[in-house]
């Protein structure tokens, strides 16, 4: 009977030890699982932060392709001259030759006021048309930065051209020669500007 009690106590003791060990292992597993879960959550948060810092790309487009696109879009267009100098110089020379053959030219040179008014009016119109064509070609083909500078330059030139023409005309204020002086100045300034733009911004 005594032996049975001893065996019974040993079985109880072993059961208690086994129960305690299992409890500890279970607690460790829970802690490990909890730690793993926390680590996973931290990693997920980091990945989420990384995603918010990226530029969304179209399907199938890589970061490398996107960088190439950025590089291409930032490449400066450095066209500072366009072809056409020979063609426009010939055209400008032809304009003057045509003007020199006008009937008004001879009378204008002789000092006839009406002939001068007509001649310089036509002369200015013809060179002004040529200037507009030159400017249109440059605007179409020059780089945006070069064109931006040219536009500023052209606005300044127009102001100077008008100011000079007004100054020339003011010398004959109220007289019959006022109109002649005004258009003669516009003609000469515009003609000079045509050659200036062609030689500065065009190549053969």
The tens place of each residue's pLDDT in the chain, 204 residues long, gives: 555 556 565 656 555 655 545 555 444 445 544 444 444 443 444 344 444 333 323 333 344 443 443 333 333 467 889 998 999 999 999 999 999 999 999 999 998 999 999 999 999 999 999 999 999 999 999 999 999 999 999 999 999 999 999 999 999 999 989 999 999 999 999 999 999 999 999 998
202 forms beta bridges with 82
Structural domain tally of the chain?
2
The dihedrals phi and psi of 51, each to the nearest 5 degrees, come to: -65, -35
Q: Are strands 82-83 and 202-203 parallel, antiparallel or unpaired?
A: parallel
pTM: 0.61
Tokens of 165: 């023409």
Q: Is residue 76 part of a domain?
A: no
- Mark whether 47 and 87 lie in a shared domain: no
The dihedrals phi and psi of 202, each to the nearest 5 degrees, come to: -125, 150
- Mark whether 98 and 190 lie in a shared domain: yes
- Mark whether 98 and 199 lie in a shared domain: yes
CA distance 147 to 152: 9
Q: Is residue 73 part of a domain?
A: no
The dihedrals phi and psi of 82, each to the nearest 5 degrees, come to: -125, 160
CA distance 45 to 42: 5
- Mark whether 36 and 92 lie in a shared domain: no
Q: The domain containing residue 26 runs over which residues?
A: 2-53
Q: Is residue 70 part of a domain?
A: no
- Mark whether 90 and 49 lie in a shared domain: no
Q: Of 36, 53, 70, which one is at a domain's C-terminal end?
A: 53
Q: Is residue 63 part of a domain?
A: no
Give the residue carrying structure tokens 């400017």.
Answer: 135
Which of helix, strand or coil describes residue 44? helix
User: Could you tell me if 98 and 126 are in contact, meaning their C-beta atoms sit under 8 angstroms apart?
Assistant: yes
Tokens of 37: 């879960």
- Mark whether 112 and 196 lie in a shared domain: yes
């Amino acid at each position: 009977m005594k032996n049975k009690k001893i065996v019974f106590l040993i079985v109880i003791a072993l059961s208690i030890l086994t129960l305690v060990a299992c409890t500890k292992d279970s607690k460790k597993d829970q802690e490990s699982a909890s730690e793993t879960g926390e680590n996973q959550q931290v990693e997920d948060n980091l990945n989420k932060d990384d995603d918010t810092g990226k530029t969304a790309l179209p399907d199938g487009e890589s970061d490398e392709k996107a960088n190439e696109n950025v590089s291409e879009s930032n490449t400066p267009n450095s066209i500072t001259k366009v072809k056409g100098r020979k063609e426009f110089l010939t055209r400008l020379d032809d304009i003057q030759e045509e003007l020199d053959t006008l009937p008004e030219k001879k009378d204008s040179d002789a000092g006839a006021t009406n002939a001068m008014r007509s001649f310089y009016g036509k002369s200015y119109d013809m060179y002004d048309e040529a200037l507009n064509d030159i400017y249109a070609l440059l605007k179409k083909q020059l780089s945006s930065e070069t064109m931006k500078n040219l536009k500023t330059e052209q606005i300044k030139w127009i102001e100077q051209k008008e100011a000079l023409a007004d100054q020339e005309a003011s010398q004959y204020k109220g007289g019959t020669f006022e109109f002649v002086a005004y258009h003669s100045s516009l003609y000469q300034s515009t003609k000079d500007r045509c050659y200036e733009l062609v030689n500065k911004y065009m190549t053969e």
